[in-house]
Amino acid sequence: KAGVTQTPRYLIKTRGQQVTLSCSPISGHRSVSWYQQTPGQGLQFLFEYFSETQRNKGNFPGRFSGRQFSNSRSEMNVSTLELGDSALYLCASSFAAGDTEAFFGQGTRLTVV
Amino acid sequence: TQLLEQSPQFLSIQEGENLTVYCNSSSVFSSLQWYRQEPGEGPVLLVTVVTGGEVKKLKRLTFQFGDARKDSSLHITAAQPGDTGLYLCAGRGSSNTGKLIFGQGTTLQVKP
């Protein structure tokens, strides 16, 4: 059974640009959450999607947005990139909303220059 | 705001030694998960504890959830170099949210 797949693995973008990251959850899982990991702040919750609906949102500016498709795949978008957006972006897959176990992908390493 | 305080932040020990990592909060969590993360990779789930007082064992790793579901510990017996990595605890505030609140992590180095 395939795990959580995140693409791309690495990205280098320039300040002011926008970026879209993709996450395919484990087959049969319908809940996807996104996290940002930085050395200073650790792992911070961005948002959670279930059945194409955003259920929770973390304390991030509106430049961070996401969506989920009918096949449970999810994308997150960051517009007007800032240097501080450089981070490892992680996607977690769960069978159902509020399910106790979350499985993470390998992440997308975003570097903003 | 729910917070998880994880300690110690860094641990460097010799192969064969025992160690304990702590995860504490003033808030109650519906469940708590422990992950291990290698550099540049995503966290890998080790265990989920749900019931207060619960103890789970995974080979040389023992996980405990506090009676009040506010704290947890991870004990490793006879550590090996392969145990090296970043250990993260993550709590779920309620059973109907997918949001996980993470501790800052414990970087463990086990020297041969």
A23-77, pLDDT tens digit by residue? 999 999 999 999 999 998 999 999 999 999 999 999 999 999 999 999 999 999 9
Mean pLDDT along residues B21-31:
94
Indicate the helix (H) or strand (E) that contains B12.
Answer: strand B10-14
Mean of the per-residue pLDDT values for chain A? 95
CB < 8 Å to A11, chain B: none
- How, if at all, do strands B106-111 and B10-14 pair? parallel
3-class SS of residue A69: coil
State residue A2's pLDDT score.
75
Percent over 90 (pLDDT), chain A: 91
Q: Which residues pair with B64 in a beta bridge?
A: B55, B73
Flag whether pLDDT at B1 surpasses 90.
Answer: no
What is the gyration radius of the CA atoms in chain A, in angstroms? 13
CB contact under 8 A, A97 and B98: yes
Query: Assign residue B76 a region: left if phi > 0, alpha if psi is -120 to 50, beta otherwise?
Result: beta
Structure confidence at residue B54 (pLDDT): 96
Cβ A86 vs Cβ A56: under 8 Å: no
B100/A35 Cβ within 8 A:
yes
Q: Identify which of A37, A85, A43 has the alpha carbon closest to the alpha carbon of residue A63.
A: A85
Residues in B closer than 8 angstroms to A98, CB to CB, are: 92, 94-98
More reliable by pLDDT, A96 or B17: B17
Q: HSE of B1 in the Cβ direction (CA atoms, 13 Å)? A: 8
In a mutagenesis test of the B interface, which of A5, A29, A45, A51 is the best target, namely the one with the most B β-carbons within 10 Å?
Answer: A45
B6: its two tokens: 């994880």
Q: Which residues pair with residue A97 across a beta bridge?
A: none
Which amino acid is it at B64?
Q
Give the model's pLDDT for residue A1.
60
What's the average model confidence in pLDDT over A8-17?
98
CA gap A81, B108 in Å, rounded: 33
Q: How far apart are CA A70 and CA A8, in angstroms?
A: 21
Rounded CA separation A35/A94 (Å)? 14
Cα of B71 to nearest chain A Cα, Å: 17
pLDDT in tens, B33-90: 999 999 989 999 999 999 999 999 999 999 999 999 999 999 999 999 999 999 999 9
Q: What is the structure's pLDDT at B94?
A: 76
